[in-house]
Amino acid sequence: MTSITIACLDMAGTTVRDNGAVLAAFGSAIEQGGLADGTPAYDEAIKAVRASMGQSKIEVFRRVLGDEAAARKANDAFEEHYAAAVMAGQVAPMPGAEQTMTRLREAGIQVCLNTGFSPGTRDVIIEKLGWSEMIDLALSPVDAGRGRPWPDLPLTALMRLGGTAVDELAVVGDTVSDVETGLRAGAGLVAGVLTGAATRAEFERAGTPLILDTVADLLSHLGLGQAS
């Protein structure tokens, strides 16, 4: 019997497949922030974005653009571009994601979706996929204080969902930042999945305790069978 009572699952790249919409939105936003596509500065910015996948989007823009006004303008452009991609049907559940969330809740494990997106973008995705009734909580950095790689998101989930100890938490995501968040929170289970940004080698270098092919593999690891 698993001791996990709360599963904190990342969205884009872990439970949500968007066919590159996040990176495309970043590219458009960086241009809005003043960096022209094809320039060395733009290329360096995209490299930095790739390295910081999973983190709070506004924080990424602040680091990349180095100016608060430009960062906010870029963040607004990102949100608009990505929301348009969502409404155009460019997002879908990762294979096995819905079955995984359903089985977790059947087993008494509460599900929190967490993300670096703003609440508005996050909620558009959840509504588009029809997931409102499939989860117990959804969190963005603004809801918790700080985004990844800080531990605030899973610790906020623990408090809001009535958990009593950090070892009840499972934290699962597709980026090194997701893993760092779980480790800093002291989560009982921290896993990286290979369906998104990070490679197995990157996860291994980050000291990831558990590497899964997909989020659906979480079920068998917890002794809950397999996603159908």
So what's the pLDDT on residue 94? 96
CATH of domain 6-18+92-221: 3.40.50.1000
Quick one: angle between helices 21-32 and 40-51, nearest 10? Answer: 140
What residue has token string 């924080």? 59
Query: Over the stretch 37-53, which tens digit does the pLDDT of each residue have?
Result: 888 888 887 787 777 77
So what's the pLDDT on residue 228? 63
CATH 3.40.50.1000 residue ranges for the chain: 6-18+92-221
Per DSSP, what are the bridge partners of residue 9? 113, 172
Query: Over the stretch 172-201, which tens digit does the pLDDT of each residue have?
Result: 999 999 999 999 999 999 999 999 989 999
Name the percent of the chain in helix, strand, coil, to the closest 5.
Answer: 50, 15, 35
Q: Is 73 helix (H, G, I), strand (E, B) or coil?
A: helix
So what's the pLDDT on residue 40? 85
pTM, whole model, 2 decimals? Answer: 0.88
CA distance 105 to 39: 48
What residue has token string 């270098």? 205
The DSSP output letter for 132 is G
Mean pLDDT by 10 residues, the chain (228 residues): 90 92 83 81 79 78 85 86 88 96 97 92 94 97 93 97 96 96 97 95 96 97 83
